[in-house]
Structure 1
Amino acid sequence: MPKQTTTATLLIVLATTLPGTLLAADNRISPDIESLDVTHNGQTVTIQRGHDRDATLPAMFQKTDRGCPPFCVQPIVALPGVGTIGELEVLDYLRRKSQGDDSILVVDSRTPDWVMRGTIPGAMNIPWNNISSDAAGTFETPDQADAFRQILADEFDGSYNAETDTWDFTDAKTLVLFCNGIWCGQSTENIKTLVDLGYPLHKLKWYRGGMQDWVSVGLTTVKP
């Protein structure tokens, strides 16, 4: 009787003859997601996981000792009522946005020097200090305040009433905000500022893991 081929032997044979096929099948984002095409600055970018099994975190995310303040560990909930989400939820918002849902905006809250090192495809960079210049959400000059109002109106779809100095966010976008990771408070400061202005809690989502978690699982990044 011929000897039966074991599963282990079959895998060795397949790995030798079909390395590309096995690699693609063995490195999905999730059991249901192999990759995702999104639009970034008018270009189609495919988000997938890396195929280098020896890859390590970029040097900027290998550091573990960061001074607090400002680099304090963030709570799991930025504010009660604001949803904390992970990578798969971010991907779902990116998918919906790339399929034409204009009610969603994924916001990289970091300053441009960090964004130049890589960001999430499909995200828009609005530096945190354009929304919250300090913990109180105040600005030093009228020009800064005007720029802030322009972001709220043009990017977030808020409606400003100059007579009452109030905002209506009834038709505002759902914002998915992130920064560098669980030790970065930039996006949480923005969330607090927006909520104080009346932004609906259910329209604010916080990707707590941020860029450090994104690159730690090998997901695609893009540079400006």
Structure 2
Amino acid sequence: MHFKELIACCVLMVGPAQANDVGITKGLMNVTVQTADGVVDITRNQDPNARLQEPWTQTSRPCPNFCIQPMIPAPGVAPVGELEVLEFLQREDAVLVDGRLRTDYDKATIPGAISIPYTQAADRLDELGCEIDFDGWICSDAAPIVVLFCNGPWCGQSPTAARRMIAAGYPAEKIRYYRGGMQSWNMLGLTVHPGNG
């Protein structure tokens, strides 16, 4: 084999490996989730020159209504980041809930998320395994862990959903809050897709 042929061979072997340099973590390139539309692989955008698109590039929004949200929106609720969201998407005892208005969900959401707008959070606990009674909702120990998110650290929709769910009877210790929401998800180049109907 000539030197030029050897170099061409090596370039071809290295090429595909470099095409997937942008991993989720050092050893994790993708996470596969089941959605209502079928299986989706969550990856990061492989283009190192990719940039955020509107509305995710906007840094300043008027407060109120778009004030910076606390890491813990209610006592007992635990904050999570992207890696924990990906982990919860793999669990059968957890549900990822997009607390934004349905129109935002329909445009783009995290694969595997269901839509329960913050305005309906206290009224749809039956979808999370709770039963209605005369005094509100009864949520058993079998109720899933709910991971709530909305548009980002300045969005109050999922914190409001968490507080409304707790007031209606959902256990706070079963709620997680992904404060980074869609802005952080998009900033990291993670897969999004339209809501499932």
1:167 aligns with 2:137: yes
Contact 2:125 2:165 in 1 (8 A): no
CA distance in 2, matches of 1:207, 1:14: 43
Measured against aligned partners, the alpha-carbon deviations of 1:108-132 in whole angstroms (never above 9, x if no partner) come to 0111221233110000011111236
Shift of 1:16: 7.0
- Aligned residue for 2:43? 48
Q: Distance in 1 between matches of 2:104 and 2:110?
A: 12
Change (3 A) 1:15 1:195: farther
Match of 2:104 in 1: 114
Query: For structure 1, which runs of at least 5 residues remain unmatched after alignment?
Result: 1-12, 133-147
Asked if the contact 2:96/2:114 (under 8 Å) is kept, the reply is yes
Which letter maps to 1:160? I
Equivalents in 2 of 1:65, 1:47: separation in Å?
29
Counterparts of 1:195 and 1:84, CA distance in 2: 15
* C-alpha contact 2:99 2:150 (8 A) present in aligned 1: yes
Q: Secondary structure at the match of 2:103?
A: helix
Query: Post-superposition shift, 1:85?
Result: 0.1
Q: Which residue of 1 aligns with 2:156?
A: 185
- Alignment partner of 2:76: what SS? coil
Partners of 2:29 and 2:43 within 8 A in 1: yes
CA displacement at 1:107 relative to structure 2: 0.3
Matched, 1:131 2:127: no
Structure 2 unaligned segments of length 5 or more: list them.
Answer: 1-8
Q: CA deviation at 1:23?
A: 2.8
Partner of 1:218: 189
- Report the more deviating stretch, 117-126 or 31-40: 31-40
> TM-score with structure 1 length normalisation?
0.78
Quote the offset at 1:15 in angstroms: 6.2
Separation (CA, whole Å) in 1 of partners of 2:106 and 2:50 = 20
Report the identity percentage. Answer: 37
Match of residue 22, structure 1, among 18, 28, 31: 18
Contact 1:14 1:22 in 2 (8 A): no
Structure with bigger gyration radius: 1
- 2:33 counterpart SS class: strand
1:104 equivalent in structure 2 = 94
Question: d(CA) in 1 for partners of 2:64 and 2:10?
Answer: 52
Instruction: Report the count of equivalent residues.
Output: 186
One of 188, 198, 208 as aligned partner of 2:179:
208
Counterpart in the other structure of 2:129 = 157
> CA RMSD of the aligned region, Å?
1.7
Is the partner of 1:114 in helix, strand or coil?
Answer: helix
